[in-house]
Amino acid sequence: MPTAQITALGTYTPPNLLTNADLEKLVDTTNEWILERTGIHTRHIAPPEMATSDMAAEAAKLLLARRGIAPTDLEAIIVCTVTPDMFFPSTACLVQDRIGAKGAWGFDLIAACSGFVYGLTTAANLIMAGTHKKVLVIGADTMSRIINYKDRATCVLFGDGAGAMLVEAAEDGAPGFIGFHNEIDGSGGDFLKMPAGGSRCPSSHETIDREMHYVHQEGQQVFKYAVRKMEEACRKVLQKHNVSADQVILIPHQANRRIITAAAEKLGLDPSRVMINIDHFGNTTAATIPLATADAIAEGRLKRGDTVLFAAVGAGFTVGANLWRWTC
Ligand code: UT7
């Protein structure tokens, strides 16, 4: 069976920044509250003319340049997002056209904050099935478009960004993808959702008036679930593949600093092995894991040959943990 490796990484964040000081002017909040309760001080926000496919295409172009391959070498493109440019065509189609990946197929994957982890699992399995050699996985979200900047409980949390990883069939046959534990639990769907705009509740003047086109979250419910399930998913994948927690670098979804530190403590991980960069990006939903990976490499915390554990919990609920040997 072919093995799957991550061979390149590209990211993009828009230049405009939204700081805690800016948010203090918009809602009844303070820099101290935001920092203490979330760990965030800055988020990147896309300018009005920029949509998810624009950021995704920038991340993809950087990745292609770094890997030194042509866009036409890509066989499939998976865009993980909850903020597509529009319902259809898919953002994958828009990105494919923008970067000139003629001949590729692809699709959008909706798993909210677990999107990138599910995208990696899917790409790895396409490679291991022997049907693909190069699959591009992109996590991209323009959360600022679905956030209510009058709701202090959500507007302080989110930012915009994109990140991409290339999953390839390994030329040397060495393993990259080790395994996964993913699960969904739809019983938690009401705790984090965007209620309007779909077939259940199409957009109307009423849905706009009732602010149903924005993210609605029961923060404490999501928090408790996220800590419990992030630890559990990590533990399950580690046990399944006989890897001990102290052998891995954990690159978790960045939703709240306290969620990450609580889950990491329960796993018995030394903080030096846990990547946290929520302070300068906030929660960029499907983009947090590639953005945190890029920072982990830049800081020298993730090196070729390390065993890396990507883990996320998100709306749905969706839960995912992927174990990889880092090969890029
Ligand atoms: O990535 C997708 C998954 N999402 C998550 O994982 C998010 C999970 N949840 C969280 O990160 C946290 O629950 C939040 C950061 C959203 C909220 O933190 P919390 O410690 O759970 O606060 P809380 O909701 O229990 O609220 C405590 C108090 C409330 O005031 P009262 O009722 O005690 O008077 C809130 O109204 O904090 C208040 N509050 C704020 N105060 C200042 C809520 N948001 C703010 C704010 N500034 N921005």
Render pLDDT for 53-77 as a digit per residue (tens, 0 to 9).
Answer: 999 999 999 999 999 999 999 999 9
| Residue having the nearest C-alpha atom to atom 28 of ligand 1 | 153
Q: Report the separation in Å between the CA atom of 269 and the middle of ligand 1, taken as the mean of its atom positions.
A: 26
What confidence category does residue 194 fall into, taking pLDDT thresholds of 50, 70 and 90?
very high
What confidence category does residue 294 fall into, taking pLDDT thresholds of 50, 70 and 90?
very high
pLDDT at 174 over 90: no
User: What SS3 string covers 98-162?
Assistant: HHCCCCCEEEEECCHHHHHHHHHHHHHHHHHCCCCCEEEEEEEEEHHHCCCCCCHHHHCCECEEE
Pocket test for ligand 1, best of 23, 37, 81 (most atoms within 8 A of CB): 37
Q: Report the separation in Å between the CA atom of 142 and the middle of ligand 1, taken as the mean of its atom positions.
A: 21
Give percent above pLDDT 90 in the chain: 98
Active site residue 113: yes
- Rounded to an integer, the average pLDDT of 193-207 is 97
| Residue having the nearest C-alpha atom to atom 1 of ligand 1 | 255
Q: Report the separation in Å between the CA atom of 2 and the middle of ligand 1, taken as the mean of its atom positions.
A: 46
Q: φ and ψ at 42, to 5 degrees?
A: -145, 150
| Residue having the nearest C-alpha atom to atom 14 of ligand 1 | 219
Please state the atom number of ligand 1 nearest to the C-alpha of residue 283.
1
Closest CA to 274 of 304, 250, 306: 250
pLDDT at 158 over 90: yes
Residue with tokens 């890997």: 67
Render pLDDT for 73-115 as a digit per residue (tens, 0 to 9).
Answer: 999 999 999 999 999 999 999 999 999 999 999 999 999 999 9
Q: Report the separation in Å between the CA atom of 213 and the middle of ligand 1, taken as the mean of its atom positions.
A: 20
What confidence category does residue 218 fall into, taking pLDDT thresholds of 50, 70 and 90?
very high
Q: Report the separation in Å between the CA atom of 239 and the middle of ligand 1, taken as the mean of its atom positions.
A: 33
Active site residue 277: no
Closest CA to 80 of 291, 225, 250: 291
With contact defined as beta carbons under 8 Å apart, do 115 and 288 qualify? no
Q: How many CB atoms lie within 10 A of CB 237?
A: 23
3-state secondary structure of 165: strand
Pocket test for ligand 1, best of 34, 149, 223 (most atoms within 8 A of CB): 223
Give the CA dihedral 118, 124, 128, 131, nearest 10 degrees: 90
Say which residues have a Cβ less than 8 Å from residue 193's Cβ, sequence separation at least 6: 215, 216, 315
pLDDT at 57: 98
With contact defined as beta carbons under 8 Å apart, do 246 and 307 qualify? no
Please state the atom number of ligand 1 nearest to the C-alpha of residue 113.
1
163 class by beta-carbon count within 10 Å (0-12 exposed, 13-18 middle, 19+ buried): buried
142 to each of 65, 254, 290, how far by Cα in Å? 24, 15, 15
- Rounded to an integer, the average pLDDT of 224-240 is 98
What structural domains does the chain harbor? 4-169 (3.40.47.10), 177-325 (3.40.47.10)
pLDDT at 1 over 90: no
pLDDT at 283: 98
With contact defined as beta carbons under 8 Å apart, do 53 and 94 qualify? yes
pLDDT at 173: 80
Residues with C-beta less than 6 Å from any ligand 1 atom: 29, 33-34, 37-38, 113, 152-153, 156, 192, 219-220, 222-223, 226, 255-256, 259, 283, 314
Amino acid at the residue 289: I
Render pLDDT for 239-258 as a digit per residue (tens, 0 to 9).
Answer: 999 999 999 999 999 999 99
pLDDT at 202: 97
pLDDT at 175: 85
More confident site: 173 or 286:
286
What is the C-alpha separation between 291 and 289, in angstroms, rounded?
A: 5
Mean pLDDT of the chain: 97
Q: Report the separation in Å between the CA atom of 261 and the middle of ligand 1, taken as the mean of its atom positions.
A: 17
Active site residue 256: no
Q: φ and ψ at 133, to 5 degrees?
A: -115, -25
Give percent above pLDDT 70 in the chain: 100
With contact defined as beta carbons under 8 Å apart, do 70 and 103 qualify? no
Q: Out of 113, 155, 234, 328, pick the active-site residue.
A: 113
Q: In the structure encoding, which two tokens stand for residue 150, read together?
A: 């009058």
DSSP 303: -
Render pLDDT for 254-275 as a digit per residue (tens, 0 to 9).
Answer: 999 999 999 999 999 999 999 9
Q: Out of 44, 132, 181, 253, pick the active-site residue.
A: 253
What confidence category does residue 172 fall into, taking pLDDT thresholds of 50, 70 and 90?
confident
pLDDT at 127: 97
| Residue having the nearest C-alpha atom to atom 3 of ligand 1 | 314
